[in-house]
A = this chain, B = another copy of it.
Amino acid sequence: MKVINIGLLGVGTVGTGIAKIMIDNEALIVSRLGAKLNLKKAADLDVARDRGVSFGKGVLTTNPLDVVNDPEIDIVLEMIGGVTIAKDLILQAIANGKHVVTANKALIASHGNMIFNAAADKGVAIAFEPSVGGCMPIIKTLRESLVGNHILSIAGILNGTCNYILTKITSEGVSFDVALAGAQAEGFAEADPALDIEGFDTAHKLAILSSIAYGMEISFKDIYIEGISHITPMDIEFAGQYGYKIKLLAITKYADDTVEARVHPAMIPFSNPLSSVNGSLNAVTITGDAVGDMMLYGYGAGMLPTASAAVSDMVDIARSILAGSSPVIPIRSFQTDRIRKIPVRPMDELISHYYIRLTALDRPGVLSKIAGILGDHDISIKSVHQIDQKLKGGVPIFMLTHQAKEAEVQKALTKISSLDVITDKPMLIRIEEKNN
C-alpha cells in the first residue's frame, strides 16, 4: 500500500486531535483514500506529557527541523500557532517542497499573502480549512462548492468564546464580567481572553474569508473591529423585547468593486438563523448570486472538530500526490494572477440601522435636545423608549433608528455625549437587517 508521510508541528490540543484521528480512524482513512497516512514525525517542546495517544517509536521530537527538513515527509501540519516560529517553519517546509496544512488564522491574517505566494511559486499546496470555523467546511464551500457564484456577502459567528458569553448573558441575565468568569471556569475562555472578546480572533478569520470570497489580497488592517465587553444584560433584554438577538458577527459584503469588512456586536432579528446559534457553536451564512442564502453550522473549535478539518485538508493533498498532479485548487479561490487589492470601504461610509442607548437626567426637554441633534445629522428615529430605572445618575433611553450613515451617527453621539444632561457613555449597536 502507498504511504504518505506526515510531519506534525505542535502537539497541543489540535495537534493531539489530529494524531488521535490518524491513529483511531486509520483503517477508515485507508479505506477511503486507498493509501496510508503515516505520522512520521511530531515535534513539540514537551515530549514527555501523556496525551492519551500512542505515538510510534521515534516519532516525537523536540526539534521542529526534524519535521520540516525530513526528505521523506510529504505534508507538514503546522499546529503551533503564533506568528513567529510558525511562520519560519512553514516557509522552510515550503522551501523544501512540502505541502502545508495550518490552523493558524493569526499568521494567515498577518502574513498570508507572502506565504501563499511562496507556496504558489514552489508549486506546493497550503491548506487552512481548520483556521476558520473548526469542523465547518467553510473554505471548501467557498472555494469549491460555490465556484460558479459571485459571493455577495458572508456573516458569521466565528468565535465560540464570545458566543458562549453572549448566550450566558442572554439566558442568565448576568453581567459580562460574571459571564466571562463562568466561561473561564468551564474552559470556554482563555485566562487571557483579549484575543477572543476584543474581536481579533474573529477578525483574523474574516480576513481569510473575504480574501477567498472575492479573490482579494488579505487585508487584516482594514477590518473594523469592536469586541463584546461593553454589552450589558439591559441591551440584550431590550433587543429580545424587540425581536432581536445580540451576536458578535463577522460581516463582509461586496458591492461596486469595494468590500465591507467588519467585526462588531450586531442585533439580528429572530428570523435570521444565526440568531438561534447558541453556546460555543459557530455558524456562517453565505449569500451567492446563484445559491441565494445558505448556512453552515457546527463546532467552531475544540480538539476533534478542528482536527477533522486538518485531516480533510491532508487527505485532499494526499489524493493529488497519489494522482501525481500538482495542487488543483488555487489557494485563494482565484488563479494567482487574478488576485488583486480590492478597497475596503471605510467604516464611516457604512449605512445601517442602529440601536442607541443613552443615560440621561429624567428632565423635561432632554429628548427634544437629543432628537434635535440626531435630526441635524439626518438620523431619523424609528422608536424611542424610556424606562423608570435608575442607571448611572440618570435613566436609560433606548432608541432604534432608520437607516443612517455611520459617520453621522458617530458625530451625533459625540455631540449628545457632551450635553450636560447625559450622565454616561452612550451605547451603540448596529442592527443587521436583511436590507442593510
Question: A residues near B, CB below 8 A?
Answer: 17, 21-22, 25, 28-29, 31-34, 129, 134-137, 140-141, 144-150, 215, 273, 276, 288-299, 304-305, 307-309, 311-312, 315-316, 319-320, 322-326, 328-330, 333-335, 338
Contact = CB atoms under 8 A, between A and B. Distances in A.
Contact of A335 (B34, B140, B304, B328): B34
- Is the contact region of chain A dominated by helix, strand, or loop, or is it mixed? mixed
A324 B29 CA distance: 25
Given A21-B148, A276-B276, A312-B148, A292 B297 contact: no
Contacts of A141: 137, 140
Contacts of A294: 135-136, 296-299
Contacts of A325: 320, 323-325
Given A34-B330, A135-B291, A149-B25, A144 B299 contact: no
A335 B294 CA distance: 31
19 contacts: A29-B148, A31-B338, A32-B334, A33-B147, A135-B145, A135-B290, A136-B294, A137-B137, A137-B140, A137-B144, A137-B145, A140-B144, A145-B312, A148-B308, A290-B305, A291-B298, A319-B328, A320-B328, A323-B326
A295 B298 contact: yes
Given A294-B297, A294-B299, A305-B291, A147 B311 contact: yes
A305 B148 CA distance: 10
Nearest to A129: B145
Given A305-B290, A319-B328, A296 B295 contact: yes
Contact of A296 (B148, B296, B307, B312): B296
Given A145-B309, A308-B148, A325-B324, A289 B25 contact: yes
A312 B25 contact: no
Contacts of A311: 147-148, 290
Nearest to A329: B319
B295 A297 contact: yes
Nearest to A276: B276
B291 A304 contact: yes
Contacts of A140: 137, 140-141, 144-145
Contacts of A305: 290-292
Contacts of A299: 291-294
Nearest to A335: B34
A288 B329 CA distance: 26
A3 to B, nearest CB: 16
A31 B25 CA distance: 38
Contacts of A322: 328
Contacts of A290: 17, 21, 25, 135, 304-305, 307-308, 311
A146 B291 CA distance: 22
A145 B32 CA distance: 12
Given A141-B137, A297-B297, A325-B325, A147 B29 contact: yes
A292 B298 contact: yes
Contacts of A324: 325
Contacts of A292: 135, 298-299, 304-305
B149 A316 contact: no
Given A34-B335, A137-B145, A140-B141, 7 more contacts: A32-B147, A135-B288, A137-B137, A146-B308, A290-B305, A291-B299, A323-B323
Given A135-B292, A136-B294, A291-B298, A32 B335 contact: yes
